[in-house]
Amino acid sequence: MILSPALIAVVLVAGTLIGYAGVGGVLLVPALHLIGNLPLHQAIPAAMLSYVITGLIGTWNHSLHGTLPWRMAIRLGTGAMSGAFLGAWLLSQIPVSMLSLFFGLFVLGAGISSLTKPKLPVNPTWKPGTGTLFLVGLACGIGSAFTGTGGPLLLMPILVFMGMPTLHALGLAQVIQIPIATMATAGNLLHGPIDFKLGLMLAVLLGVGAFLGGRTAHRLPVPVIEKTVAAILIATGLFLCHQTLFAT
């Protein structure tokens, strides 16, 4: 698959948003599907493979700035690995039309949620237990592998809602991509082929964007870009649902 200029631009933007606000991964699969005309069962495994790179870059950025609580990251990652492998199996069992509709509703819901979700006051001393972190990681692993979103989109709202400081939540959202993407890729390999060439091309573009976004995240406020991404998600979700329900 040759990436068009439009698709390259969207992938770069997605990488930047992953590094900056932790929500850009949800744009990647719709872009591959709608702009690149790639079936979802091929787009999602390629996208998951590329998130290994964005996770490594995001983790490095937040480690340098001291905004990554490593003990929490290890506990989340343990649950995420198990969930990602299960999510990859679920992906192989879902018909294309059902997957497309589910993904459209998922993207739409993510956009609406990011605009309307309530948030508890930030609590810098909040330290969830090992069991809580494992279950959160498990749920994020299943959902991320199934939808091809990498992890941050699901994890960020949960941690912020529970009162974690935004930059700490963003740091954890970056590192969780590594176990989720690795285990989901292993699971996808068991259930079908993966376009490794496409995955590596996406990884390079996402990596460049994630590096720039990660540097920016420590300099600019997050709320403005979150609202921008929410609008994009809602528009994309509506389009996917319309295309699935009214396709001829």
Contact 222, 86 (CB under 8 A): no
- pLDDT tens-place string over residues 210-237: 788 777 766 666 677 667 667 777 887 7
> Looking at the predicted structure, is the pLDDT value of residue 95 above 70?
yes
Q: Taking residues 91-116, what's their average pLDDT?
A: 74
- pLDDT tens-place string over residues 31-41: 898 898 888 88
Task: Break the chain into its structural domains and give their ranges.
Answer: 5-246
Q: Which amino acid is at 156?
A: M
> Looking at the predicted structure, is the pLDDT value of residue 248 above 60?
no
> Looking at the predicted structure, is the pLDDT value of residue 72 above 80?
yes
- Three-state DSSP at 222 gives coil
pLDDT at 122: 55
34: tokens are 């709608």
pLDDT at 96: 61
Return contacts of 59-67, CB within 8 angstroms, 24+ apart.
Answer: 59/171, 59/174, 59/175, 59/178, 61/19, 61/174, 61/210, 61/211, 61/214, 61/215, 61/217, 62/167, 62/170, 62/171, 62/174, 62/175, 62/214, 65/167, 65/218, 67/167, 67/168, 67/170, 67/171, 67/218
Phi, psi (rounded to 5 degrees) for 34? -85, -40
pTM of the model: 0.71
- pLDDT tens-place string over residues 132-183: 889 999 988 888 877 777 777 778 777 777 777 777 888 888 888 898 888 8
pLDDT at 126: 60
